[in-house]
Structure 1
Amino acid sequence: MSKAPDLKRSLIIGCGGYLPEKVVTNHDLAKTVETSDEWIVERTGIRKRHFAAKDQATSDLAVKAALVALQDAKIRAEDLDLIIVSTATPDRTFPATATIIQAKLGNSKALAFDVAGVCAGFLLGLNVADNYLKLGQAKYALVIGAESLTSLLDMDDRRTCVLFGDGAGAVVIEAKNKDEIDNDRGILSIKMQSDGQFHHILYSDGGPSTNGKVGKLRMDGQEVYRHAVTKLTDSAKRMLASYTLTADDIDWFIPHQANIRIIESVAQKLKFPMDKIVLTVQDHANTSAASIPLALWVARLDGRLKPGDLILHEAIGGGLIWGSALIRF
């Protein structure tokens, strides 16, 4: 019988992000749909978002974020052993967008594949990559959340078209022996779960095997809000309890950026002060799988996030799929 591998620790060594050049404000949307800046801000906290250009595919956004993350990590694309991309808006039905990104990066040795977790997709991808690294099956992994959500929006539906934007965020993680890591840094735990009985409250109404169309994003906003608050609060509480932690022990709460009201409600239940929460929803809107890595990148750029900081992430997406992550940066 072969010996079980010594488990390693996954350490985030690089962060990157990219937002398309086109900025669309609430006032811009009010020119084409029955809404207003006041209505959107009051209900969501969103003030603007970025829209990809017509000639920009999801892989183009992802590559730009990946290059920033690789530069931050100080490694080459050729060094990557694993490339995981979370997206609900792939370049094509197949092959995996990750393989297209792999080719654009000039890497020919990594295993590259997509995961589908929608707004929880980045945590799902990070969870998969962490398991590869812990088992010694890869040394360097690139995990990307990238979305061109405007391709799925019904711009006549003011309930959804005001909520979303395009963008990409990425992290590079490295497998290290635990005795090589200072201050217990690295990915400590990621816990994900799903409940498919709620798949109908947030979905695209198209698909290759149903109607052969891409479809448009459809959402029961009240139901999504209700499930988001209860499930995210429960997930975070269980994560903290498993490490005998409280909100006071967390340096930064960096949740999925869907709606400021959801974030505020969860924060109140968890007793997180707002000054310990990284918020980008006002500037990016909901970028689905890209939102957490984009927020991580923003906090790294502005100097808030420092090595050794303890981070709590959480996200929920269509499926429903949701979960939390505890990371010592």
Structure 2
Amino acid sequence: MANASGFFTPTMRISSSININRSGFRCPVVISKRIRCSGTSQGVESFSPPESRAQRLVNKGCKLIGCGSAVPNLQISNDDLAKIVDTNDEWISARTGIRNRRILTGNESLTGLAVEAAQKALEMAEVKPDDVDLILLCTSTPEDLFGGAPQIQKALGCKGNPLAFDITAACSGFVLGLVSASCYIRGGGFKNVLVIGADSLSRYVDWTDRGTCILFGDGAGAVLVQACDSEEDGLFGFDLHSDGDGNRHLNAGIKESTTTEALGTTNGSALGFPPNRSSFSCIKMNGTEVFRFAVSVVPQTIEASLSKAGLNRSDIDWLLLHQANQRIIDGVATRLEVPKDRVISNLAKYGNTSAASIPLALDEAVRSGKVKKGQTIATAGFGAGLTWGSAILRWG
């Protein structure tokens, strides 16, 4: 039976395990019967055991109670870009809606931005770092090959050494992080999960390619997702997908250097060992194909999430999409019949900040008073992979 949160909760049947799938949570439970062999006709006894851990988790929900964001100091305008590549402000703004972006320079770091955003989210939520159970860093551009989340955990001063790890799903990363947080809360008993979206795609941009260099900026955003009773549940439904065949339209693959010397042995030279040093290439994108992909799949995934949540388009207070291109945002809003005054967009100020774009826009909307506690938000991410997904959630 569907409850007010849009997830399916048990009536009389309880299963010994919690089934979590990509369409949401369906949590049926089976109350067991103990058979007692006493040699009499009274040998079978049915009873209700003490509340199990699984039963407690079935009744758990999750809610977003804090948010924060941070951006680099350096602002690069369209006019600034026009000095280094053949473009102009009118051309960029008309095709993308972007007028400025922030770029990491000097002593700034992506980790520093992520920590700042996380601290603000914790302060709003009134949660101490020591009470954080899990940190999920959604990024495709960590500052360490082995991931950046543990460094954020260290910088925040989480003395309990909570688990911290990276999620790599490009511009869909933050939505995947939200869903992952809810799974840990519902299925693992976690209480406070910090979800951070942070990316510095400017480090992987070819600044001579006017098709891509105009799009990307750097930034970080974070939310604190907290366990709550099912009646307060704030994640109503979700829908997640990927299609590796679309990788050819948007990627930044490995490129090999040719400077590494082979070992001074016959076997080493024959085997090509050691391998050449590698680095990631600049972002390569077929903008037309990515645009077609986004305007097609985003309305579909939001409709799917609404259906799984048992909600209608009219139940949406705000539409918050990954900030990639204003024409995509406007097109999806039109398809879903969401009025412009209920669409959140800060793309003009920051450009495409990948996994940071949704929490960055959410934080600004919350702190400005636009998004209020109890309002319903339809959000969706889409991008490299190709990956896409959506979630219907309530703020506060």
Q: TM-score range by the shorter chain?
A: over 0.9
SS of aligned partner of 1:161: coil
Distance 1:88 1:186 in 2: 27
Distance 2:357 2:279 in 1: 26
Distance 2:335 2:99 in 1: 25
Determine whether 1:104 maps to 2:155.
yes
Distance 1:143 1:58 in 2: 15
Structure-1-length-normalised TM-score: 0.95
Please identify which structure carries the higher helix content. 1
Which residue of 2 is the match for residue 156 of structure 1?
208
> Would you say how many aligned residue pairs link Structure 1 and Structure 2?
324
Determine whether 1:266 maps to 2:332.
yes
CA positional deviation for 1:244: 4.2
Structure-2-length-normalised TM-score: 0.79
Distance 2:105 2:190 in 1: 35
Which residue of 1 is the match for residue 226 of structure 2?
174
Which residue of 2 is the match for residue 218 of structure 1?
284
- 1:53 maps to which of 77, 90, 105: 105
- 1:255 maps to which of 321, 328, 340: 321
Which residue of 2 is the match for residue 192 of structure 1?
240
Determine whether 1:30 maps to 2:78.
no
Gaps of 5+ in 2: 1-15, 18-51, 257-274
- Aligned residue type for 2:366: R
- Aligned residue type for 1:87: T
Distance 2:342 2:284 in 1: 32
Distance 2:304 2:281 in 1: 36
Residues 193-221 of structure 1 show CA distances to partners (whole Å, capped at 9, x for unaligned) of: 11111111111132689961132111110
Instruction: Write the mapping of 1:301-312 to structure 2, written as runs, cut at 5 A.
Output: 301-312=367-378
Question: What CA RMSD, in Å, does the superposition of the two structures yield over aligned residues?
Answer: 1.6
Which residue of 2 is the match for residue 230 of structure 1?
296
Which residue of 2 is the match for residue 73 of structure 1?
125
Distance 2:111 2:215 in 1: 22
Residues 275-322 of structure 1 show CA distances to partners (whole Å, capped at 9, x for unaligned) of: 100011111100000000001101001101111101000110211110
Q: Which moved more, 1:254-263 or 1:192-201?
A: 192-201
The structure having more radius of gyration, on CA atoms, is: 2
Q: Which moved more, 1:79-88 or 1:2-11?
A: 2-11
Gaps of 5+ in 1: none
Identity %: 42
- Aligned residue type for 2:219: G
* Greater RCO, 1 or 2 (C-alpha within 8 Å, sep 6+): 1
SS of aligned partner of 2:142: coil
SS of aligned partner of 2:85: coil
Residues 144-179 of structure 1 show CA distances to partners (whole Å, capped at 9, x for unaligned) of: 000111101100000000001000000001111224
